[in-house]
Amino acid sequence: MQLSTRHVLDRAFSSLGIVAIALMGAALVLLLGPIVIRGSGALVFRGTVEHRRLMLELFQRGDAEELDEELALARKAREPLYEKIAECEADLKSLGFARRREVRGALHELKEVMRELLGPAPGTPKPVMPRDQYGQTRWERAELKLKDVLFIEKWDYSDPTQMGKKTLAPRIEDFKGTPLETNGFFTYAETHLDEMLRPNWTFYWQFLTDRSYDAHFFGGIWPEMLGTFYLTFGAMLFALPLGVIAAVYLTEYAGAGPIISGLRVCISTLAGVPSIVFGLFGLAFFINTLGVSSSKSVLAGSLTLGLLVLPTVIRASEEAIRAVPKTYREAALSLGAGKWHTVMTVVLPAALPGILTGLVISMGRAAGETAPIIFTAAVSVGQPLKLGQVFSQPTPALPWNIYNLCTEHEAVDEIRHVQYGMVFVLVGLVLLLNTAAIILRARISKKLHG
């Protein structure tokens, strides 16, 4: 081959490599960027006075006196709105019967959306659900809600050949001929939102350590994080010893017979089984057949996840053990070590970095898997578990709750920030676990190789 051809080929290959790496980097940024930005919104946001009221009432956090002063100011700013509504209500009698019904309905709707924005009106009984007891706690949500106060969403179906079109109609049009049209209610609401809700930049780190209130409407994700921890470590507790022992057997003790090669095929196949199948198997085997717990539990989920990552652990450990130089074994044996002793004192320590790599991969997988825990461990809402409860209690867990929030929650649009926060924390958690394991691996590797 010509020298110039070789040069061209070399250059083409290296530039292809650079392009591939650049693409990967871009994908990573594209993927992680939004997760980090929107996810951190769960912790850092402009919290309104409602948020501070919530913190004080549900979590006894913050200064009660300070809050009272602030609330007084907010109430004063809100007062004109309620007065204007009352004015309109008093004026209802002057309307004709049909119009009166219309306006009464519109008023009811307005009061409802006002409650969503600012919380219950003064003098009304305390609602049952915590989500109804507070106005918007986050400024960006409040701004959206304000739009609902000012406008009504309408659907235009006038063109039968087209899909319905969403239009925003000013709410003020519903109140033609009533005091609300003229007394400046809507302008006041639009211009005084700031004073009524008093947003402040808030660092709500307790998002990570608070339990959730009212199905994730308020509070944090501690039970989910804890559940993920329990499930991941539980899975590792089962998979690691079992996997390493199996790998030692396969590499050091097993012969080359057809049973052993069959076993290897089984392990490879097991690694390719879809995770939902593991989930169903876990339910059928661990819960229904073995009865490790009467219903879903962390234990059953950990066992299922452990089974899921077992092939990975076995494979990685096997590779690592195989990579230990034969000369180490010979040296140990020549010094009079038995086979078992050789494995324990020489082979396994030398294989540890490789085994840890397998552990890292499987830990990330176990932490993020959703399907295996649907039937075996996960519930959408729950308390943080104590260690002793893991044998019998189910737990919320990040991957399942992310799925659950975005598919089954009744008001997912209201709490997108929680969902993003969960994704953020899950990615961060996996990253943290991996970093820890990688550092550990590097340290052991360094110790081994001088």
Partner 1 sequence: MTNDGFVSADAIGAKDTGTEESVPHVRADGFSVFYGTNEAVRQVDMDIPTGMVTAIIGPSGCGKSTYLRAINRMNDLIPECHTKGSLRFDGQEVYGPQVDVVALRRRVGMVFQKPNPFPKSIFDNVAYGPRLSGTRNSGKLAEVVERSLRDAALWDEVKDRLKENALGLSGGQQQRLCLARSLAVKPEILLMDEPTSALDPKSTARIEDLIAELRGTYTIAIVTHNMQQAARVSDFTAFFYEGLLIEFGETKQLFTNPAEEQTEDYIRGRFG
Sites of contact with partner 1 (CB under 8 A): 325-338, 341, 345-346, 349-350, 447-450
DSSP 188-242: HHHHHHHHHH--EEEE-GGGGTPPEETTTTEE--HHHHHHHHHHHHHHHHHHHHH
Cβ 274 to partner 1 shortest distance, Å: 39
Count of residues making up the chain: 450
| Run of H or E residues at 278 | helix 275-282
Cβ 447 to partner 1 shortest distance, Å: 7
Task: From 20, 18, 122, select the one nearest 77 (Cα to Cα).
Answer: 122
d(Cα 401, Cα 170) in Å, to the nearest integer?
37
Taking the CA atoms of residue 275, residue 378, residue 36 and residue 19 in that order, the dihedral angle to the nearest 10 degrees is 0
| Run of H or E residues at 33 | helix 3-40
**Residue 265: strand, helix, or coil:** helix
d(Cα 348, Cα 329) in Å, to the nearest integer?
11
Cβ 343 to partner 1 shortest distance, Å: 13
Cβ 339 to partner 1 shortest distance, Å: 9
CB-nearer residue toward partner 1: 156 or 330: 330
Taking the CA atoms of residue 267, residue 271, residue 274 and residue 275 in that order, the dihedral angle to the nearest 10 degrees is 100
Cβ 240 to partner 1 shortest distance, Å: 21
- What type of residue is 179? P
CB-nearer residue toward partner 1: 257 or 388: 257
CB-nearer residue toward partner 1: 332 or 360: 332
d(Cα 291, Cα 203) in Å, to the nearest integer?
45
d(Cα 163, Cα 278) in Å, to the nearest integer?
43
CB-nearer residue toward partner 1: 79 or 330: 330
Cβ 330 to partner 1 shortest distance, Å: 6
Written as six digits, the tokens of 179 are 């005091």
Task: Tell me the C-alpha to C-alpha distance, in Å, between residue 315 and each of 311, 369, 411.
Answer: 6, 19, 44
Cβ 350 to partner 1 shortest distance, Å: 6
CB-nearer residue toward partner 1: 108 or 449: 449
Cβ 348 to partner 1 shortest distance, Å: 12
CB-nearer residue toward partner 1: 241 or 338: 338
CB-nearer residue toward partner 1: 169 or 335: 335
CB-nearer residue toward partner 1: 273 or 448: 448
